Amino acid sequence: MIPVIEEAELRAAVTPARAIDVIRDAFRADGEGRTTVPPVINLGVPHGEFHVKTAHIAGVPHVAVKIASGFYGNVSNGLPTGSGLMALFDAETGLPAALLLDNGFLTDIRTGAAGAVAAEGLARYSIETVGVIGSGVQARYQVQCLRIVRPFSRVVAWSPSRERLERYCDEMRADGVQAIAATTVEEVCAAADVLVTSTPSREPLVRAEWLRPGMHVTAVGSDSAGKQELSGFCLIRADLVAVDRRAQCAAFGELTHAVEAGLKIEPIELGEIVAGRRTGRTNDSQITVADLTGVGFQDTAIASAAFCWIGS
């Protein structure tokens, strides 16, 4: 029998601050060439989809295999649309070490943490307003993690659902942040020092002309083929485009659409910045974009760390 760890225990152990430290280390390992990341499995089924990610990080004692599902029709049955679990294996023996029944929590927090790590390398040191497109789980985790590395006083948000947007803004206020519900994406862009896009959109929401000097954009919504939040021209307009993994971003990230449109983008990898091999932002007027699709080494890093914290 192996330990089976439930979501509540994982939530108690894995805080945003701890997650950021772990995910920063994972990106550093990647930038130093210490990760092995095979292509992900995408399995489409009649009512949903499964994604499987895994990776090895030299120096991390486990390998996680993460299985995530998305079944959007679940809403009508009162079930969660996204779910998942991680199986953890000993990296030295291959033997099963633990099952983490996180229902997607570890994915959510490591994605938020990756946004914070991107901001450390790409956002201005001093920011006031965070723009948020979307009102779902990542609209929350991105903001929660970002404020640890770049404190701010205000959120301006937009979402296709006005009801969800109002609820989101109420939550932000309860967290001590001034929150404004915007009526257009353009309005959010006009106010944002850092812009987070976190929707499952299949057409561009953000136009290149709305990006302003000094702005940093983190796009986390495009995590499978067909999804898109930024116009391809946003990536051309940016002075610096960072991706979490070139191969993935070219296959199903924001980068895909720019490349398909024939635009020549030369992204750097976030790991290269964290490892000090490439330079992130160098002045306050650059426009920067981070295209984050979620990489298996983040799952291995967060799952191994969570298991070690809970075990100790």
Which residues of this chain interact with its own copies, rule CB under 8 A?
1-2, 4, 6, 36, 38-50, 52, 54-56, 58, 63, 65, 67, 69-71, 74, 77, 79-80, 83-85, 87, 89, 91-96, 99, 101
State which residue, 37 or 132, has the beta carbon closest to its own copies.
Answer: 37
The answer to whether the beta carbons of residues 133 and 195 sit under 8 Å apart is: yes
User: How near is the Cβ of 300 to its own copies at its closest, in Å?
Assistant: 10
DSSP category for residue 226: T
User: How near is the Cβ of 46 to its own copies at its closest, in Å?
Assistant: 8
How many beta carbons lie within 10 A of that of residue 173, not counting itself? 12
Of the candidates 96, 50, 40, 113, the residue with the CA atom closest to the CA atom of residue 296: 40
**Which residues have CB under 8 Å from 154's CB, separation 6+?**
128, 129, 130, 177, 178, 179, 180, 191
State which residue, 48 or 214, has the beta carbon closest to its own copies.
Answer: 48
The answer to whether the beta carbons of residues 109 and 141 sit under 8 Å apart is: yes
Per the residue annotation, which of 53, 66, 227, 264 is the catalytic one?
Answer: 66
Distance CA(158)–CA(106), nearest Å, equals 25
State which residue, 65 or 123, has the beta carbon closest to its own copies.
Answer: 65
66 in catalytic set: yes
| Burial of 8: CB neighbours in 10 Å, binned 0-12, 13-18, 19+ | exposed
User: How near is the Cβ of 102 to its own copies at its closest, in Å?
Assistant: 10
Distance CA(248)–CA(220), nearest Å, equals 13
User: How near is the Cβ of 32 to its own copies at its closest, in Å?
Assistant: 16
State which residue, 97 or 181, has the beta carbon closest to its own copies.
Answer: 97
User: How near is the Cβ of 21 to its own copies at its closest, in Å?
Assistant: 24
Distance CA(201)–CA(223), nearest Å, equals 10
Residue 92, H or E segment: none
State which residue, 94 or 262, has the beta carbon closest to its own copies.
Answer: 94
> Active-site positions?
66
